[in-house]
Chains A and B, each alone.
Chain A
């Protein structure tokens, strides 16, 4: 997916001004940046919820069609069960009930919720709700995945377990992913590349992460150096 010379402004606030960004197919681009610098705007434009004032967004054929969006909050239907919350996102694309059941059960099992299918969101913890949202996002047949700080406001243990669940699903079926976060560590651990926003014209910092995801360790010298650079960029933005 490519953002080509896009421009976007909210009244006097110029968020993007002929801004370009390239996200290789089936890779994860982590996007970090100070608040109000266009991270969510970028996601919404990718999802088609927002039109850029200028420029264009080009998607590969394999990225066309529907998108899966993971929000900051789980956005589950309160009066539907865990199972129904996932299965409903499949109804338009899969007419066979058996097929829908298999897919929903598979992804719910992957996030460890096989035993909670009949529960309602109000009966789940915050972490479990976000797991349902992750299962729904992966079950939904989309080749483009957009993540808007989905692991924000979770404790560190829960965050790691959700990131694990996410990566397990992603490795099983890689999709072009735009991952917005405030957390530099999270960005470096998940992304194939990290982009820092803050300048409407170009990324303040763009770094390809050339260490395989499963071999990454945040205490490695290279990772620490990247983290330090990213933090410095964010502070100075």
Chain B
């Protein structure tokens, strides 16, 4: 019942958003400033029907996925080390603070000077997403329960058991929070970098071309696609998290013998 209510509220607020858009479009009465829902829906249908559509989507998705993977692996390794070794954490602090404070556009523009247009989204997304994930992982290591650690020592847990049954489960919530935030950020930065660097294929590049030709309905269509890609990424991530939790429970249950 609670779930139905929640979904109903979500549906009503989404409809309200569409209503505001349509009313705004009718009040402005300009297809360039803000086209209404029907022309954007029409433009979206045309876009999807065209052959390069999938190529554009896949190129952007691949860049986002690559950046995300690099962020997750590197930030986890560096974060764990920084959490364990205080001097490394102190040494990394100026880099992380700079990366957190630097405007995303500065990174993209600088990267565009240094690299080819295909590499810029990857590089920019990495630099923006890395500190977010790194901070979470480092915090997770620092917040490990010292009492449980002491218990593991006293009860002589094997290092592999300590890692599997204490450290990894304790770090999971930090890992999930960090990667979820990094994932949302990666989509935004990859598309922004594509807008500025205009690679051959990519959602951002198409958006930029539509904007130059004052095709606002197309810009909005690509924006909707970008929103859907981000939402799909989040859904996929949540599904993976649930699957992992489900599998862990299954494995745990298999490890419990019958008491009789």
Which of B148, B158, B255 touches A75 (beta carbons < 8 Å)? Answer: B148
**Max chain B C-beta neighbours (<10 A), residue from A79, A89, A108:** A79
Contacts of A75 in B (CB 8 A): 147-148, 151
Q: Is B256 close to A, CB under 8 A?
A: yes
Contacts of B253 in A (CB 8 A): 81, 118
Beta-carbon nearest neighbor of B151 in chain A: A75
Whether A84 lies near B155 (C-beta < 8 A) is no
Inter-chain CA distance A73–B172, complex, in Å, is 23
Inter-chain CA distance A49–B253, complex, in Å, is 35
How far apart are B193's CB and chain A's nearest CB, in angstroms? 38
Beta-carbon nearest neighbor of A93 in chain B: B156
Beta-carbon nearest neighbor of B254 in chain A: A118
Whether B169 lies near A79 (C-beta < 8 A) is yes
Inter-chain CA distance A136–B157, complex, in Å, is 12
Whether A84 lies near B165 (C-beta < 8 A) is yes
Q: Is A36 close to B, CB under 8 A?
A: no
Which of B148, B151, B156, B252 touches A84 (beta carbons < 8 Å)? Answer: B252
**Max chain A C-beta neighbours (<10 A), residue from B154, B169, B248:** B154
- A101-B151 CB under 8 A given contacts A81-B252, A91-B158: no
Q: Is B98 close to A, CB under 8 A?
A: no
Q: Is A67 close to B, CB under 8 A?
A: yes
Inter-chain CA distance A47–B257, complex, in Å, is 32
Whether A118 lies near B165 (C-beta < 8 A) is no
Which parts of A71-97 form the interface with B (CB within 8 Å)?
71, 73, 75, 77-81, 83-84, 88-89, 91-93
How far apart are B9's CB and chain A's nearest CB, in angstroms? 29
How far apart are B227's CB and chain A's nearest CB, in angstroms? 35
Contacts of A83 in B (CB 8 A): 255-257
How far apart are B154's CB and chain A's nearest CB, in angstroms? 5
Inter-chain CA distance A13–B256, complex, in Å, is 48
Whether A118 lies near B252 (C-beta < 8 A) is yes
Contacts of B252 in A (CB 8 A): 80-81, 84, 118
Chain B contact residue count (CB 8 A cutoff): 21
Q: Mark B223-260, 1 if CB is under 8 A from A, else 0.
A: 00000000000000000000000001000110111010
Contacts of B255 in A (CB 8 A): 81, 83-84
Contacts of B157 in A (CB 8 A): 88-89, 91-92
Which parts of B123-150 form the interface with A (CB within 8 Å)?
147-148, 150
Q: Mark B200-217, 1 if CB is under 8 A from A, else 0.
A: 000000000000000000
Which of B154, B155, B166, B256 touches A117 (beta carbons < 8 Å)? Answer: B256
Inter-chain CA distance A132–B158, complex, in Å, is 20
Which of B150, B165, B172 touches A77 (beta carbons < 8 Å)? Answer: B165
Contacts of A77 in B (CB 8 A): 148, 165-166, 169
Beta-carbon nearest neighbor of A114 in chain B: B259
Which of B150, B172, B248, B257 touches A105 (beta carbons < 8 Å)? Answer: B257
Whether B148 lies near A101 (C-beta < 8 A) is no
Beta-carbon nearest neighbor of A92 in chain B: B156
Inter-chain CA distance A77–B156, complex, in Å, is 14
Contacts of B259 in A (CB 8 A): 105, 108-109, 114-115, 117
Q: Is B29 close to A, CB under 8 A?
A: no
Q: Is A129 close to B, CB under 8 A?
A: no
Inter-chain CA distance A38–B166, complex, in Å, is 30
Beta-carbon nearest neighbor of B169 in chain A: A79
Q: Is A8 close to B, CB under 8 A?
A: no
Contacts of A114 in B (CB 8 A): 259
How far apart are B149's CB and chain A's nearest CB, in angstroms? 10
- A89-B155 CB under 8 A given contacts A81-B255, A84-B165: yes
Contacts of B86 in A (CB 8 A): none
How far apart are B208's CB and chain A's nearest CB, in angstroms? 47
In the complex, given contacts A69-B154, A80-B169, what are 17 additional A-B residue pairs having Cβ atoms less than 8 angstroms apart? A67-B154, A68-B154, A71-B147, A71-B151, A77-B165, A83-B255, A83-B257, A84-B255, A88-B165, A91-B161, A93-B156, A105-B259, A108-B259, A114-B259, A117-B257, A136-B155, A140-B156
13 contacts between A and B (CB under 8 A): A47-B154, A67-B154, A71-B147, A77-B148, A79-B248, A81-B252, A88-B155, A88-B157, A88-B161, A115-B259, A118-B256, A136-B155, A140-B156
Binding site for B on A (CB under 8 A): 47, 49, 66-69, 71, 73, 75, 77-81, 83-84, 88-89, 91-93, 101, 105, 108-109, 114-115, 117-118, 136, 140
